[in-house]
C-alpha cells in the first residue's frame, strides 16, 4: 500500500523532493504547499517538469493538515523563520502526520537543539503519536553516516575530520546561501549570518556531539573558527558577480575539544570558481566538490563522496541528494516510534522503490 505524502515547498530542494514523490511507486502525493503566489493553483507535476497529477498547490497549511497524510516532506527554508516553521511542524505532528525535513538543521542531533524548539516538537510528537526526522547532505549525511561508517573500520581513533570542499559557483542561490555565507561582501561589511558568534556551533555542533557520543566521549568544549578570501579580480558565476576586494571564498571549522586537543572537526571550504582561494584545500582528482571523512588512527580511514555524475552538476546533485535523503527515509520514519528521531533511530537500509 502506498504511503500518502504531502510536499511543503517547491524551492531548490523541494522541487526535487516533489519529483521523487510523484515518481515513486511506494508514495502517493496527496497535497502540496507553495508560498509563491504564482504557483498557487498549479498542478504539482507542472511545477517539477512532469505531467499532471491532479494535486494542485495551496498556501493553506490547515487544509493540508486536514488531509491526515502519512507523512509530510518539509523542505521550506526555516532557519530564518524558526517560529513560523515551528508552528507549521507542530500542527502536522499534533494531527498525527509524521514529518521528514531538510530544514531546522539543529535537529540533526536532537539533544543539541535549544529547548524552546525541541520541547514543543517533542510534545507535538507525543500528542499526535507521530515522528519527526531532520537530515540532509551537509549538515546530515556527511556528519553522521560518513563518520559512523568509517569508525566501524577502526581499532583505535585519534581524530575524526569531516569536510565539505565545494565550488558553489554554479549554485544559483544568492538570496539565501550567498548572503548567509557572505559571498560578495566587502571586507569591512558586517559579518554574514553564518559567521556571527555561535551560529556555526549551533548548526555543526550537533554533528560534532553525535560523533562524540558514538565514541563514548564527553567533550570539554566546542570551538569555532573561520576565514574569508577576497577576490583579486572580478568573478562572474551563477551565484553572483564578485568584485575585486570582496568575499569569494569562505572556510570554517567547528571542533570538539578533549584534554586540550581537537578530536572531532566539521570543516567547510566553499569557493566561487576554482580560481578563488588557490592556497586552500581542493577536492581530490580535479573534482569540483567532495564530502569527506578522514579518521586518523589504526588503520586510518578516508572516505570521499561525490554527488553529481553522468552530466549532473555537483550543486544540483547536492540539492537532489538533500531531498532524497529525507524522501528515502519516509517508510522508516512512518514505521518508527513516535518522537524526534535521528539517524541512529532508523534502519541502515533506506532505498525502497529506488530501482528504475
Instruction: Provide the pLDDT for residue 25.
Output: 94
The answer on 46 and 28 residing in a single domain is: yes
Residue 353 lies inside a defined structural domain of this protein: no
Instruction: Provide the pLDDT for residue 355.
Output: 83
The answer on 76 and 204 residing in a single domain is: no
The answer on 212 and 286 residing in a single domain is: yes
Residue 356 lies inside a defined structural domain of this protein: no
The answer on 38 and 78 residing in a single domain is: yes
Residue 314 lies inside a defined structural domain of this protein: no
> How many domains is the chain partitioned into structurally?
2
Residue 352 lies inside a defined structural domain of this protein: no
Instruction: Provide the pLDDT for residue 271.
Output: 98
**Could you tell me the CATH number of the domain that includes residue 124?**
3.40.50.720
Instruction: Provide the pLDDT for residue 179.
Output: 95
Specify whether the backbone of 299 is left (phi greater than 0), alpha (psi in -120 to 50) or beta: alpha
The answer on 109 and 206 residing in a single domain is: no
The size of the chain, in residues, is 356
The answer on 10 and 155 residing in a single domain is: no
Residue 313 lies inside a defined structural domain of this protein: no
Which residue numbers in the chain have pLDDT < 70? none
The answer on 149 and 70 residing in a single domain is: no
The answer on 264 and 336 residing in a single domain is: no
Structural domain containing residue 122 = 3-137+319-345
The answer on 241 and 153 residing in a single domain is: yes
The answer on 341 and 283 residing in a single domain is: no
Instruction: Provide the pLDDT for residue 1.
Output: 76
The answer on 283 and 172 residing in a single domain is: yes
Give the CA distances from residue 14 to residues 9, 53, 75, in Å, rounded to whole numbers and listed in that order: 5, 16, 5
Angle between helices 314-327 and 14-23 (to 10 degrees): 60
Instruction: Provide the pLDDT for residue 353.
Output: 81
Instruction: Provide the pLDDT for residue 349.
Output: 87
The answer on 266 and 149 residing in a single domain is: yes
Instruction: Provide the pLDDT for residue 305.
Output: 98
Amino acid at each position: 500500500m502506498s504511503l500518502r505524502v504531502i510536499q511543503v515547498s517547491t524551492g531548490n530542494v523541494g522541487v526535487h523532493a516533489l519529483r521523487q514523490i510523484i515518481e515513486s511507486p511506494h508514495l502517493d502525493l496527496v497535497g502540496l504547499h507553495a508560498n509563491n503566489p504564482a504557483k498557487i493553483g498549479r498542478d504539482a507535476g507542472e511545477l517539477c517538469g512532469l505531467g499532471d497529477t491532479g494535486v494542485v498547490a495551496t498556501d493553506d497549511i490547515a487544509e493540508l493538515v486536514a488531509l491526515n497524510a502519512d507523512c509530510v516532506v518539509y523542505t521550506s527554508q526555516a532557519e530564518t523563520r524558526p517560529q513560523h516553521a515551528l508552528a507549521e511542524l507542530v500542527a502536522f505532528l499534533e494531527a498525527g502526520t509524521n514529518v521528514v525535513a531538510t530544514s531546522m538543521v539543529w535537529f540533526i542531533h536532537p539533544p543539541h537543539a535549544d529547548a524552546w524548539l525541541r520541547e514543543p516538537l517533542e510534545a507535538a510528537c507525543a500528542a499526535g503519536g507521530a515522528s519527526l526526522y531532520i537530515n540532509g547532505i551537509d549538515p546530515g549525511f556527511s556528519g553522521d553516516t560518513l563518520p559512523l561508517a568509517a569508525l566501524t573500520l577502526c581499532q583505535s581513533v585519534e581524530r575524526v575530520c569531516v569536510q565539505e570542499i565545494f565550488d558553489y559557483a554554479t549554485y544559483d542561490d544568492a538570496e539565501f546561501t550567498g548572503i548567509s555565507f557572505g559571498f560578495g561582501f566587502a571586507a569591512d561589511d558586517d559579518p554574514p549570518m553564518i559567521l556571527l558568534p555561535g551560529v556555526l556551533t549551533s548548526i555543526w555542533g550537533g554533528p560534532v556531539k553525535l560523533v562524540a557520543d558514538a565514541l563514548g566521549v564527553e567533550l570539554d568544549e566546542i570551538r569555532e573558527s573561520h576565514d574569508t578570501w577576497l577576490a583579486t579580480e572580478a568573478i562572474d558565476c551563477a551565484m553572483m558577480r564578485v568584485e575585486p576586494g570582496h568575499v569569494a571564498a569562505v572556510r570554517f571549522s567547528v571542533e570538539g575539544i578533549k584534554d586540550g586537543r581537537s578530536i572531532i572537526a566539521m570543516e567547510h571550504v566553499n569557493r566561487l570558481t576554482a580560481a578563488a582561494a588557490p592556497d586552500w584545500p581542493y577536492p581530490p582528482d580535479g573534482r569540483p566538490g567532495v564530502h569527506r571523512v578522514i579518521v586518523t588512527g589504526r588503520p586510518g580511514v578516508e572516505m570521499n563522496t561525490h554527488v553529481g555524475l553522468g552530466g549532473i552538476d555537483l550543486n544540483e546533485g547536492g540539492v537532489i541528494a538533500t531531498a532524497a535523503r529525507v524522501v528515502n527515509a519516509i517508510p522508516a520514519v512512518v514505521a518508527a516510534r513516535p518522537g524526534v528521531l535521528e539517524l541512529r533511530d532508523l534502519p541502515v537500509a533506506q532505498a525502497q522503490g529506488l530501482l528504475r
